[in-house]
Amino acid sequence: MSSFNEMEQSLKKLSGASANVPLDEVTLLRLIHHYSDFITVMLRQLVKPYNLTDWSMRALLMMRADADKKGVPMATLGNITGESATNMTRICDELVKSGLAIRSSDLQDRRKVLLSTTPKADAILAQVTPLVWGHLSSSMSELSKEEITLMIALLKKLTIGAENEAKLIKTSTP
């Protein structure tokens, strides 16, 4: 029995109480959120012994992904991790303070703040990423490779639709 069953029953009651509830869409949204919550909790548990948070882990991974560059612009890091500029500043401050990241200025545009990982961060990532990737793969083992590929395509379509809807709401509200 899934921990989602109780939530699903409540959604069905809501649908019965109000004829305008798009039950399948709301259920899908709640399932995505529910799964995401479990993955976030798992990630937090796995990185905590390394004195990382789920957000600092994501930021370090994105910095490392661009290791061939001189660093990742802080604004870009915020965009690719989904964090606000304020929260990204706080995360980066913590990473720099703990010796896991280095701030530098872009030589072409001194206004840009670049971040890169340190050898200490690289060593921690070498230990923790196999754990994270292993548990992530295991959590998705119910799906075949083809189903995962299909889910990616479908969720991308949903994301584009949601982004377009958000733009419409933003432009149409006072």
27-74 pLDDT, tens digit each: 888 889 989 999 999 999 999 999 999 989 999 998 888 656 678 888
Q: What is the pTM of this model?
A: 0.77
**46 close to 53: Cβ distance less than 8 angstroms:** no
pLDDT number for residue 117: 93
What DSSP letter does each residue of the chain carry, written as one string?
--TTHHHHHHHHHHHHH-TT--HHHHHHHHHHHHHHHHHHHHHHHHHGGGT--HHHHHHHHHHHHTTTSS-EEHHHHHHHHT--HHHHHHHHHHHHHTTSEEEEE-SS-TTPEEEEE-HHHHHHHHHHHHHHHHHHHHHTTTS-HHHHHHHHHHHHHHHHHHHHHHHHHHHH--
Sorted by where each begins, the domain ranges of the chain are 1-50, 54-140, 143-174
Q: Which residues pair with 102 in a beta bridge?
A: 116
pLDDT tens track for 80-135: 888 888 888 999 999 999 999 999 887 788 778 889 999 999 999 999 999 999 99
Domain covering 54-140, topology: Arc Repressor Mutant, subunit A (1.10.10)
